[in-house]
């Protein structure tokens, strides 16, 4: 069983279902509304735990009902919450997700307490990082905090995984050099490298650009098409499983969490781990909501056998 520590965000998602996205100045009626747990960090942690990893979370919530709700989402899935801090200085993070009939989404985020996670908060979890196989982070918490966490991980000779999302052009060079595996989607890849991903040739070029920035191992996710991987000079493409998607909100987070549960620390099984992660994502997109849709290890293995 892999041990995974995740530094990241916790958001309460409000999901607004609409037939199509409104035009500027246009008012449209909702066809449904629901509340669910979210935040890239929390999604990835729950995905890792449900896929079988021993998972610990580093993050921050407000002293409010939303914070209590989010901590319960973690613990109900078996995530260790001892390093989730409570703050009275801001509300728990939240997101508004517009989901149309074609399963496309548009998301607005209020970072709240996610933006208050500090290096000192990470220091409290130093022992958990040192005992982990992987430390995972995203860009919904401060990058300075992530850089500090990755420094601690490397000092303990632990592997780091960076999901550079949401996309930003302002990524510290020091953080990339501390990253052992980077997992962007097409948009994040282009923002990071300047390479527009359209085919295998451009994926290779983009992955090589990531390696030039200091990241030896790269996975580029391309939605319903699948995922490209590069490890050193070796590379390949793992097609996605074909399913009828209902909600793609947590597909990428499910991929990363599931991947971390089976990946070896020398990355020698990268292609096999990507295949397992693809299967997990294929199950997640068939249900509504971020965290409610994330599958368990039993469900993933059953789908593999089917």
Residue 185 labelled as part of a binding site: yes
The half-sphere exposure of 221 on its side-chain side, counting CA atoms within 13 A, is: 26
Nearest by Cα to 135 from 252, 41, 272: 41
What residues pair up with 235 in beta bridges, in sequence order?
Answer: 230
The pair of structure tokens assigned to 159 is 């592997």
Count CB-CB contacts under 10 A for residue 8.
25
- Burial of 36 by CB count in 10 Å (0-12 exposed, 13-18 middle, 19+ buried)? buried
Which residues are marked as active site? 253
Residue 232 labelled as part of a binding site: no
Residue 264 labelled as part of a binding site: no
Residue 147 labelled as part of a binding site: no
What residues pair up with 210 in beta bridges, in sequence order?
Answer: none
Output the CA torsion sign for 200, 205, 209, 215.
positive
What residues pair up with 85 in beta bridges, in sequence order?
Answer: 60
What's the gap between Cα 284 and its chain centre? 13
Residue 13 labelled as part of a binding site: yes
Residue 12 labelled as part of a binding site: yes
Residue 290 labelled as part of a binding site: no
Residue 249 labelled as part of a binding site: yes
Residue 226 labelled as part of a binding site: yes
Provide DSSP, 243-262.
---S--TTHHHHHHHHHHHH
Is residue 78 within a helix (H) or strand (E), and if so which, with residue range? none
Residue 284 labelled as part of a binding site: yes
Residue 225 labelled as part of a binding site: yes
- Residue 51's φ and ψ, nearest 5 degrees, are -85, 0
Residue 156 labelled as part of a binding site: no
Nearest by Cα to 223 from 201, 197, 205, 191: 197
Residue 59 labelled as part of a binding site: no
Residue 223 labelled as part of a binding site: yes
What's the gap between Cα 172 and its chain centre? 19
Residue 100 labelled as part of a binding site: no
Residue 169 labelled as part of a binding site: no
Residue 278 labelled as part of a binding site: yes
Give dist(CA 42, CA 8) in Å, integer.
Answer: 7
What's the gap between Cα 143 and its chain centre? 15
Question: Hey, is 176 helix, strand or coil?
Answer: helix
Binding residues: 11-13, 39-43, 140, 185, 221-226, 247, 249, 252-253, 278, 284, 287, 289, 293
Binding residues for K(+): 247, 249, 284, 287, 289, 293
Binding residues for substrate: 11-13, 39-43, 140, 253
Binding residues for ATP: 185, 221-226, 252-253, 278
């Amino acid at each position: 069983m892999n041990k995974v520590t995740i530094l990241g965000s916790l958001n309460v998602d409000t999901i607004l279902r609409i037939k199509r996205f409104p035009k500027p100045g246009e008012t449209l009626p909702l066809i449904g509304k629901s509340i669910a747990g979210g935040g890239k960090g929390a999604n990835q942690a729950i995905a890792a735990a449900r896929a079988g990893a021993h998972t610990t979370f580093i993050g921050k919530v407000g002293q409010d009902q939303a914070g209590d709700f989010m901590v319960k989402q973690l613990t109900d899935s078996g995530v260790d919450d001892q390093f989730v801090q409570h703050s009275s200085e801001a509300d728990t993070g939240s997101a508004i997700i517009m989901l149309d009939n074609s399963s496309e989404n548009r998301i607005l985020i209020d970072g709240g307490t996610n933006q208050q996670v500090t290096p000192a908060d990470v220091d409290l979890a130093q022992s958990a990082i040192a005992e982990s196989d992987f430390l995972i982070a995203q860009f919904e918490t401060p990058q300075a905090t992530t850089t500090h966490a990755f420094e601690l991980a490397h000092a303990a000779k632990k592997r780091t995984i960076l999901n550079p999302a949401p996309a930003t052009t302002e990524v510290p060079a020091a953080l990339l050099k501390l990253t052992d595996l980077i997992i962007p989607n097409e948009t994040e890849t282009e923002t990071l490298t300047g390479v527009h991903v359209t085919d295998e040739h451009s994926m290779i070029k983009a992955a090589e650009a990531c390696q030039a920035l200091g990241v030896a191992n790269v996975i580029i996710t391309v939605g319903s098409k699948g995922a490209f991987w590069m490890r050193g000079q070796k590379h390949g493409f793992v097609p996605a499983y074909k399913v009828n998607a209902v909600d793609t909100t947590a597909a990428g987070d499910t991929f990363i969490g599931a991947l971390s549960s089976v990946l070896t620390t020398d990355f020698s099984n990268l292609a096999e781990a990507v295949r397992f992660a693809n299967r997990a994502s294929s199950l997640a997109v068939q249900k509504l909501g971020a965290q409610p849709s994330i599958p368990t290890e039993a469900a993933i293995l059953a789908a593999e056998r089917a």
